[in-house]
Amino acid sequence: MTLAVSRTAARTVVETADAAPVAAALPAVVGAALRVPLVTGERVEYANLDNAASTPCLEQVRDAVDELLPWYASVHRGAGFASKVSTRVYEQARDSVRRFTGARSSDTVVFTRNTTDSLNALARAVPRGTSVLLFDTEHHAALLPWRGPNVRRLRTPGTPAEAARVLDAALAECPVGPRLVVLTGASNVTGEVWPVAELAAIARRRGARTVLDAAQLAPHRPLDIKELGVDYVAFSGHKLYAPFGAGVLVGRADWLQAAEPYLVGGGATSLVTDHGDHLGVAWSRVPERHEAGSPNVVGVHALAVACDVLGRNWNRAVAHERALLERLRAGLATVPGVRELSLFGSGQDRVGVVSFTVSGQDSGYLAAALSAEHGIGVRDGAFCAHVAVHRLTGGERALRASLGLGSTEEHVDRLVAALRSLITEGPKVAYAQRDGRWEPVVDDRALPPFLA
């Protein structure tokens, strides 16, 4: 079918690049040359250093979506040829995700809206009475779905070795029965990589399963479910250069097959019968059981193409990020008052995420000034990980700079120089808070024409 060519074409492009010299370009992102207005009247190239929140779209993903759209139709239940094409695209996407995650042959691939949706789906599928253990500095997507008397939150330790000891001791005290350990691949606050394989081995030895929140790890490092030894993995397309509303939960099928879906409707049911005073429902098998409603075939296709493209470019992508991360951390260390946040210490392996505070400076004001005067996008606040940020800062909000495939040395250097200028010389314009957010008092920057 024509659409099968889309993913093949994407792979061909990457294979050609892999055969080229080491200096071959990284996969390109949409908007890399975007120029944004400043309050001073100039326009500059946008320095997107907010990739941990959401990544731009890969050009290859955009092209694949454009190729699909003329064929877009209902999935699974349509007899028309376009429906058959869309169904093929949707189902072959599971193969791309399997390759990307190193899934076991028996694992199921459930498409969701995002990481949050994936973890909520699993939280409602665990057997009754399951003991759940997690470290309390998780992202809210991994922290909040698990509630009740069987949930034990572990205080985040100071080192990876301590994390292993704390988890082992906690599991030893767990009641007999099903157990699940919730792990983070990389912190969305500090970027630090957790010792997932070691923690998963401890859980397995104690008879527990593990679910990995890979939202921040998947865009930056190769994933392999079998090598890590985890039972489930969840991540989002919008953090993986495929911002079209799809996520995924990959893992063991038995708990998901035994549980009723938490989102019910068409597709999740194989048969509904009328019994007068009630309806009889026979649920579909996994993965359809947990994919109720009209599937997001465009988002799923985008996610699959992103998985294919990244999977063939890891060496260059990781080297690019590590060089920029070293440059960013070294530069921030020279700025007066900057304190980098860390869970495990400055030497811990990390992905391209750095959070920091600036002594005597409000993070919201700095973020607003970096945008308005320098064309830099960073994140300020507590990053949907309030416990972690407040513990590391003593209750303050923080700034976060996060790198991606579209990040450059110039973006990093501009951020460092802009922070130093704001701290030592002050802003060029006045700022005030409106509805809790800092904004320039006078802001004549025009929005793009499509918003007019």
> What CA–CA distance (Å, rounded) separates 173 from 176?
9
Contact (Cβ atoms closer than 8 angstroms) between residue 261 and residue 112: no
Active-site pick, 57, 174, 307, 384: 384
The CA radius of gyration of the chain, in Å to the nearest whole number, is: 23
Give me the amino acid identity at 311.
Answer: G
> What CA–CA distance (Å, rounded) separates 431 from 94?
49
Contacts of 257 (CB under 8 A, 6+ apart): 108, 285, 286, 289
3-class SS of residue 230: coil
Exposed, middle or buried by CB within 10 Å (0-12, 13-18, 19+), for 447? exposed
CA proximity to 223, closest of 259, 253, 250, 262? 250
Per-position DSSP letters for 417-429, written without gaps between them: HHHHHHHHT--SS
CA proximity to 245, closest of 61, 46, 91, 383? 61
Output phi, psi for 377, to 5 deg.
-105, 115
3-class SS of residue 379: strand
Which position has the token pair 């990781």? Answer: 318
The pair of three-digit structure tokens given for residue 430, joined into one six-digit string: 């006045």
> What CA–CA distance (Å, rounded) separates 85 from 78?
10
In the residue annotation, 384 being an active-site residue is answered as: yes
For residue 9, the surrounding DSSP H or E stretch is helix 4-19
Which position has the token pair 């949930």? Answer: 151
Which position has the token pair 């068409």? Answer: 266
> What CA–CA distance (Å, rounded) separates 409 from 418?
14
Give me the amino acid identity at 13.
Answer: V
The pair of three-digit structure tokens given for residue 231, joined into one six-digit string: 């039972």
Q: Which residues are catalytic?
A: 384
